[in-house]
């Protein structure tokens, strides 16, 4: 993901947390980048994918990042 894509994902993540009433303090942009950087290689290897796309999803009134192998 490019930095612009990552920043857009972060903005959607923070907005979704506000919508469901979760605190936005705990998740910094740097922490999001570290999470994506650690998860992406695992997903690529597990699914033999060429890429991975992350989306913000609200599930059971909680905000989660959902990975989709490409």
What does the domain layout of the chain look like in residue ranges? 3-69
62 phi and psi angles, rounded to 5 deg:
-130, 145
Write out pLDDT tens, residues 5-58: 999 999 999 999 999 998 877 779 999 999 999 999 999 999 999 999 999 999
- β-partners of residue 52 are 69
Give the C-alpha separation, 36 to 55, whole Å.
Answer: 11
pTM of the full structure: 0.85
């Amino acid at each position: 993901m490019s930095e612009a894509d990552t920043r857009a994902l972060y903005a959607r993540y923070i907005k979704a947390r506000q919508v469901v009433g979760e605190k936005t303090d705990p998740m910094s942009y740097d922490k999001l980048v570290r999470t994506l950087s650690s998860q992406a290689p695992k997903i690529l290897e597990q699914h033999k994918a060429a890429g991975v796309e992350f989306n913000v999803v609200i599930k059971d009134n909680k905000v989660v990042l959902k990975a989709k192998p490409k």
